[in-house]
Amino acid sequence: MSHPTGPVWDAICGISRFAALSTMAELGCADELADGPLGAEELAVRCGAHAPSLRRVMRELASMGIVRSVGADSFELTEHGRTMRSDVPDSVRSAVRMIAEGGFWYAMGNLPETVRQGRSAFVEKHGHLYEYLAANPDSSRTFDDYMTARATPFASAVAERYDFSQVATMVDVAGGKGHILAEVLRAHPGTRGVLFDMEHVVGGAVEYFAAQGLAERCEVVAGDFFGEIPQNADAYLLASILHNWDDNDSVRILRNIREAISEDGRLLILEMVLPDEDVPHIGKDVDMRMLAIFDGGAERTRAEYAALLEKAGFTLNQVIPLTAGASLVEALPA
Ligand SMILES: C[S@@+](CC[C@H](N)C(=O)[O-])C[C@H]1O[C@@H](n2cnc3c(N)ncnc32)[C@H](O)[C@@H]1O
């Protein structure tokens, strides 16, 4: 057997590293380490874990730079480990928990079957992700927290990089809990917002906007983007939506927006736009999850977005690179 290095072994060992990280997230170890180093025994007591097992997990996490050893048998958080706390603004704990969640894990484990059949093994077992989440409130909460954590860097990038001076009203179509819209409204006092998402998702959004002093500038509407969506706004945002749907459903959503949008409006699509070259890109990793979880969901290239938009009556105007692999695709009514 060849020496265990290179991309194949990186991927194999990556599973062990992820399992250690998800154990840390699930047991809440980072929250317990928030005030400083703890011995393995004490940490195990606080996390409700078996000390000898947890010590081995901490050793793996120390090798990854998530914690560091202090003395013979204690550990403290590094800067990367700090983001595994629940109470920090840049927390990634929910992201780790969601990737390890039962349905997501099943989806990735069954990717070979999905690829063999050309149909998601997850959908076959659980139905569409959003039906699965509606039926599993704990997973749904973790998913919403994950989306918030994932969208936080995107939200500030959209608010900073896009020119909202001509945008009087923006509808955030399937905007989740409203975190991106809130960031845009905070940064652009001349813009009003409409948060649009499914009934079970928008609960609490009114209070969320009110707590940020945005209640007067933001309306919350529950609905279905395959049905009627709020009309006549001059901007519509679709953030991390189209990658969940196949081309036919994506065109249905886009056509609905085309019917609603004012003639001089603009559509903003926040997605990972894949490079055409054979280079590493986080969007290609996310695409494996889309392949596993959704029938036809996919990350797309610029040319693929241009083709979808054209079918729905839009023209791709520009692609603005944001951060962490995401871009903002601006489209105008054709
Ligand atoms: C991947 S999340 C993206 C949330 C948010 N735009 C963001 O970037 O964080 C997809 C969102 O689509 C919403 N959604 C799914 N199906 C929908 C439908 N038929 N009508 C309206 N919203 C829907 C979900 O509730 C969820 O909030």
The CATH number for 21's domain is: 1.10.10.10
Cα-to-centroid distance, 177 and ligand 1 (Å): 9
Q: What is the share, in percent, of the chain residues with pLDDT greater than 70?
A: 99
Q: 77 with 170, same domain?
A: no
Residue 195 CA to residue 31 CA, distance in Å, equals 32
| β pairing state of 74-77 and 266-274 | unpaired
Q: Is 236 exposed, middle or buried (0-12, 13-18, 19+ CB in 10 A)?
A: buried
Atom of ligand 1 nearest to the CA of 172: 6
Predicted TM-score (pTM) of this structure: 0.90
The CA–CA distances, whole Å, from 314 to 21, 140, 305, 306, 317 equal: 43, 33, 10, 8, 9
- Confidence at residue 177, expressed as pLDDT on a 0 to 100 scale: 87
The CATH number of residue 228's host domain is 3.40.50.150
pLDDT in tens, 80-121: 999 999 999 889 999 999 999 999 999 999 999 999 999 999
Active site residue 281: no
In a domain, 161, yes or no: yes
CA–centroid distance, 241 to ligand 1, in Å, is 6
- Given a cut of 70, whether residue 2 has pLDDT beyond it is no
Q: How far is CA 80 from the centre of its chain?
A: 19
Residues 171 and 53 both lie in one domain: no
Q: Does residue 280 sit in the same domain as residue 212?
A: yes
Q: Are residues 163 and 274 in the same domain?
A: yes
Same structural domain, 78 and 172: no
Q: Which residues line ligand 1 (CB under 6 A)?
A: 130, 147, 151, 174-176, 180, 197-198, 201, 224-226, 239-241, 244
In a domain, 160, yes or no: yes
The atom of ligand 1 lying closest to the CA of 148 is 9
**Which ligand 1 atom sits nearest the alpha carbon of residue 226?**
19
Instruction: Name the residue of 240, 254, 328 to mutate for ligand 1: max ligand atoms within 8 A of Cβ.
Output: 240
List of residues 6+ apart from 71 with CB closer than 8 A? 37
Same domain, 84 and 153: no
Q: What's the whole-number mean pLDDT along residues 252-270?
A: 97
Pick from 64, 76, 75, 81: nearest CA to 14: 64
Last residue of a domain, one of 61, 89, 117: 89
Neighbours of 136 (CB within 10 A): 16
* Tens of pLDDT, residues 307-316: 999 999 999 9
State how far the Cα of 298 lies from the Cα of 23, in Å rounded to an integer: 29
For residue 24, the CA-to-ligand 1 centroid distance in Å is: 28
Asked if the structure places residue 317 within a domain, the reply is yes
Residue at which a domain ends, from 44, 63, 89: 89
Which residue is it, tokens 């025994």?
41
Q: In this structure, is residue 103 part of a structural domain? A: no
Question: Which domain does 262 fall in, by range?
Answer: 147-333
> What are the tens digits of pLDDT across the range 96-106?
999 999 999 99
Residue among 126, 179, 188, 243 flagged as catalytic: 243
Q: Could you say which of 42, 74, 89 is where a domain stops?
A: 89
User: Are 71 and 179 in a shared domain?
Assistant: no
Q: Is residue 117 part of a domain?
A: no
292 shares a domain with 181: yes
Neighbours of 207 (CB within 10 A): 11
State how many domains the chain has: 2
How many A from CA of 176 to the centre of ligand 1? 6
Q: Mean pLDDT over residues 146-166, rounded?
A: 92
